[in-house]
Amino acid sequence: MKRQMNLLPRMAGNNIRKNGSAYLPYIGISVFAMFTYFVFDLILKNDIMYTLPKGAYALILVQIGFGLLGIIMVPFLYYTNSFLIKRRKRELGLYSILGLEKKHIGIMMFWESLMIYGIVLAAAVALGLLFSRLIFLLLLNLAKMPVNVKFTVSPGAVFDTMAFYAFITGLNLFVNLVQVGRTNPVELMGDARSGEKTPRFTWLWSILGLLALGTGYYKAIGAKLDSMLFLDFFLAIFLVIIGTYFLFTSGSVTFLKGMKKKKKLYYRPDNFITVSGMLYRMKKNAASLSNICIFSTMVIITVVCSVAVYLGTGSMVREEYVRNVQVTFMGQNPVDRQALREHIDALAEQYGVEPENYLSYARVKLSAHLEGEQFRVGEEWKGDYENWFTVKLLTLEEYRQAEGLTESELESASESLEPGEVLIYSTGKDFGSDRVLFGEKEFSVKKELESSVLGHKVDGDRYDRAYAIVAADEEDLREIAESLGTDPDSSWVYVCGFDLPLESETADGLSGDLDQYVSGLDGFAGYQDYRQRMLDSESMYGSLLFIGIFFGLIFLICLLIIMYYKQITEGFEDQKNFEIMQKVGLSDEEIRRTIKKQIRMVFLLPLAGALLHTMAAMKMILLLLGAIGFYEKNLLFLCALATSCAFALFYSMCYKQTSGTYYRIVKQLS
């Protein structure tokens, strides 16, 4: 008995060593998963994260990523384990036939799991200790936080990683023992090679798949900026996933059956073998293909969004804050503007700081509903979010001061006005008409402005949409405001703003003194120094890129493992089939050509699907990113193009490598 117990651990070690093609990928993905988990936990348990300036956003995003990591890794490691046990069922059945009892097989599997557990944890912790400081510095650098800080290793992170992987290992071992315990040796021997039946009613599921995918694409391509956008986003994702699964599982079978009916095409050696070999395994095969397609899409979109947001950080910050220091006063002419400017200049000279992009103007601000050419207010339009806009009303003189133009420059730019005429500027899509109605009052649009200091222009839909209306004089402005139910006498706001260096102690001193000065002036309504918020925003977007890099790698590793296991599983299943074909006269060249055709078709379909999904999602992604101030459409599309090309190249390299693995397995004929 003791000898038998000593034999089982040795058998477990030999099994891992001899089945390296099946075990090594599982061990590799487990090491990567636990390494990532360990590093994230180390960062979260590092006390310095709770004291660093601007560390709050990074900490929150790492916490979210840490939670998502656990949610993703448990089912995926379970999924890869199912490939592993599937590959080994024949071997376990053979052990049982040769006299090994199920309890001994269970003990042997326990030792295998224990050995893998030790290998994975040792490698993950070693890699974590080796690279965790480098990764921590990467996070600090991307988040624009101080990098000259001490990084400490917490024993609690090691314990958490051990416990988390123990749970995954225990779950997989339990499932494996149940499968082996409930199955007799003959079934184990047969189950390793068993296929799945062709799904019934494939034409019906194919139609449903087309409808689901088409509806998902329609929702994504036709997305609008309204209160349903986020709901439509999740609905589109669900429909695309369902449509992808149905089209790969049933649509592919329907397509292959159609090929089979074309006699001239089907009765050729290469096509006959390819179509016949794939047709009755396509349900199982297609499930893996749909997973590859979905993970490919996740990789591309994750990388695109992360890189685009990081590269667009500067424009996003500028979009949110027109000037990083702003003072507001209520009432018409509430403060001596010249005296205020002189005081700011005096403070600038005192602190040795040069304020830039000085802005000074007064306006009336209100909200109105736009329908066609007409702005209106009223309860009946309150629910129509899409067509409500912020409206800034200002006179031509205030507009001239805001833009820093002279009278002659206004004239030469065709921006001087007569009574009854207005200039109009939209931060979104153009107004596009030569007249505008405010209630029932009609004004002529002399010119639609292409740009203005009053707001950044974004073509198409955007959040916080606004119109600036420039009236010829105060009389016209009053008429417009009153037509929209606003009393201009109580709604005037004077705005003074400028830019200071984001990180400067002298700029901090100027800002503090100015805040103290203006708070004592008549009509003072508020003082905002947005510089810290801008720095926090940059930190948040940098942290987002850090999370995106890691999750892009995670999705990519998941994709590679699915591809690899799919190839070796199919290789062993096809080994006997090609042996038979070879015995009946099929040459080695014909076998190779058949394999290339089959793998090319199988592997190009998920790539094509992923690229189509990404293209369809671009408009909706742009609208969603608008929620955080990202409107750089060209930048997003450029990132999508570059990422898609890079991914297609990488995918092709994986295709070439896995096709070689498949062929080597098929050639190992007994």
Contact between 112 and 92 (Cβ < 8 Å): no
What pLDDT score does 669 carry?
46
CA distances (Å), 105 to each of 24, 94, 95, 115, 166, in order? Answer: 21, 11, 8, 15, 20
Give the phi and the psi of residue 225 in degrees, each rounded to 5.
Answer: -80, 90
pLDDT band at 196 (very low <50, low <70, confident <90, very high): very low
CB count within 10 Å of CB 349 equals 11
| Cβ pair 572, 665 in contact under 8 A | yes
How far is residue 621's CA from residue 626's CA, in Å, rounded to a whole number? 8
CB proximity list for 2: less than 8 A, separation 6 or greater? none
Cα dihedral angle (450, 453, 454, 459), rounded to 10 degrees? 40
Per-residue pLDDT at 111: 87
Whether the CB-CB separation of 210 and 239 falls below 8 Å is answered with: no
The string of DSSP codes covering 605-664 is HHHHHHHHHHHHHHHHHHHHHGGGT---HHHHHHHHHHHHHHHHHHHHHHHHHHHHHHHH
- Alpha-carbon radius of gyration of the chain: 33
Q: Say whether pLDDT at 258 is over 70.
A: no
Instruction: Give me the residue label for tokens 């220091």.
Output: 325
Higher pLDDT, 82 or 666: 82
What's the average model confidence in pLDDT over 131-136?
79
DSSP output for 250-301: IIHHHHHHHHHH-HHHHSSHHHHHHHHHHHTTHHHHHHHHHHHHHHHHHHHH
State CA 109 to chain mean position distance.
39
Closest CA to 327 of 311, 310, 339: 339
Length of the chain: 670
Q: What's the pLDDT tens digit per position in 291-347? A: 788 888 888 888 898 888 888 877 777 766 778 899 999 987 788 889 999 999 999
Q: Give the model's pLDDT for residue 195.
A: 46
Do the beta carbons of residue 475 and residue 395 sit within 8 Å? no
- The residue among 49 and 655 whose pLDDT is bigger is 655
- The string of pLDDT tens digits covering residues 473-532 is 999 999 999 998 888 888 899 999 998 888 888 888 999 999 999 998 888 999 988 887
Q: Which two tokens stand for residue 254?
A: 């329907």
C-alpha torsion sign, points 84, 85, 91, 95 = positive
Residue that is written with structure tokens 């400081």 in the block: 133
Tokens representing residue 179 in the block: 């499968």
Q: Which residues contact 264 (CB under 8 A, 6 or more apart)?
A: none
Flag whether pLDDT at 651 surpasses 70.
yes
> What are the residue ranges spanned by the domains of the chain?
1-194, 198-319+531-670, 320-530
- Per-residue pLDDT tens over the stretch 200-253: 667 787 888 889 999 999 988 888 776 677 788 888 888 998 888 888 877 666
Instruction: Tally DSSP H helices, then E strands, for the chain.
Output: 21, 10
Best-predicted range by mean pLDDT (41-45, 86-90, 371-375)? 371-375
- Cα separation, 304 vs 137, in Å, equals 23
Q: How far apart are CA 468 and CA 97, in angstroms?
A: 84
Question: At which residue do the structure tokens 């009609």 appear?
Answer: 442
Q: Is the pLDDT score of 97 beyond 70?
A: no
Q: How many CB atoms lie within 10 A of CB 135?
A: 20
pLDDT in tens, 576-599: 666 666 666 666 666 666 666 666
CA distances, 222 to each of 403, 614, 618 (Å) = 37, 15, 11
* Angle subtended at Cα 313 by Cα 312 and Cα 319, rounded to the nearest 5 degrees: 90
Q: What's the pLDDT score for residue 5? A: 57
pLDDT of residue 333: 78
